[in-house]
Amino acid sequence: MNKKTLEDFNLENKRVLVREDLNVPLDENQNITDDTRIRAVLPTINYLIDKGAKVIIVSHLGRPKGKANPKYSLVPVAKKLSELLKKEVTFAQNCIGEVAEKAAAKMKPKDVLLLENVRFHEGEEKNDPEFAKNLASLADVFINDAFGTSHRAHASTVGVAQFLPAGAGCLMQKEIEIMGNALEKPERPFVAILGGAKVGDKIGVIQNLLSKVDVLLIGGGMAYTFLKSQGHEIGQSLLEPDKIELAASLLKEARQKNVEILLPDDVVVTSKLEEGLPYETVSVTQIPKDKMGVDIGQKTRDKFADVIKDAKTVVWNGPMGVFEMKVYAEGTLAVASAMAKSKAVTIIGGGDSAAAVKQLGFAEAMTHISTGGGASLEFLEGRELPGVAALNDR
């Protein structure tokens, strides 16, 4: 990575504005239900504390649409962060203006301050230069550690970097280096697994991966558009009619590039997505007209697991079926299990796949689970992320 990192700055006694992604899920009583994102930022915060910096953290939570809303306050995050850091985290009830300025002015080296939700201001998502300048005025150095929001050109990810020396935090560096190495210098065989609902969401990813991978496994709702392009009856399964020709051309391109694309051989079908309804496994050549595919079948699970077993690098984005319903989570479970047993470098590209791996208990066995769904998708597409591009080059 040719961007500046924490090690490139003299941080002692410096006010360091750190953009973190602390967008954690909260229940109706404002309790944090999953603190993974908070734990992920601890290495950066602890590094800054150890170097004697004054640490000023900025983040968003939810979508308050540019207005202050107590439902999206970062107060619960400040409490959890204090607990995990084992030191007091001061909270400022605004991220700019007098409240933030006074809180920042009082800081001593090694102090940690968390600013209120940056999305309580319209200027954040508009990347308003004046708003970015106000944020930047609180600090001497800017560190972007929020990979999960770096595909957005917002004031706290891009704008601030125009006014301060800017570098990447530990988490950002880890995300870019692990995923970057997998894409640019993978140990082979390199296998990518794509699932999720729509081909449309993954066109760029497929096109980029076709010049990099050895095998591409396709499951989930998006598989049915590919099966339809091969002339199969897919019944009531998810279909993107306007993407059928594209799916056929991607299969053709894969053949030309000697990349093996493996589609399901069998699928689990049911008449409706409701708990308790009967379901069965059928060959993809025998999907009934009145049924919909909701998961990959056992033959496909075994076939995918065999490919994963022989791989040296595996990247996965998107579940194999409707994993939120336990009965249709078996395909996703099989892929997660095969990756967990594999000796390969295993990378989970955020979003639903990350949720599935955690839910199914395989998180610890993976080499890396990305903290950013949308950001990791754009990264896999080969697109430059604005929040990374804005950082200073080495």
Distance CA 128, CA 13 (A): 29
Instruction: Choose, from 87, 133, 198, 312, the residue flagged as catalytic.
Output: 198
- Cα 366 from chain centroid? 15
* Catalytic position from the list 4, 15, 37, 51: 37
CA Rg value for the chain: 23
Q: What is residue 336's three-state secondary structure?
A: helix
Other beta carbons within 10 angstroms of residue 169's beta carbon come to 25
User: What DSSP designation does 62 have?
Assistant: S
DSSP code for 226: H
Quote the CA–CA distance of 348 and 231 in Å, as a whole number.
32
Task: Check 351, 372, 373, 387 and give the catalytic one.
Answer: 351
Task: Give the span between the Cα atoms of 200 and 182, in whole angstroms.
Answer: 23
Residue 195 annotated in active site: no
Is residue 235 part of the annotated active site? The answer reads no
Rounded Cα distance between 56 and 33, Å, is: 24
Amino acid identity of 135?
A: L
Residue 376 has φ and ψ, to the nearest 5°, of -70, -35
Judge whether 262 and 219 are in contact, CB under 8 Å. Answer: no
Which of 238, 155, 153 lies closest to 195, judged by CA? 238
Tell me if residue 299 is catalytic.
Answer: no
Whether 252 sits among the annotated catalytic residues: the reply is no
The answer for residues whose C-beta is within 8 angstroms of residue 149's C-beta and 6 or more apart is 19, 21, 23, 60, 157, 372, 375, 387
Known catalytic residues? 37, 198, 351, 374
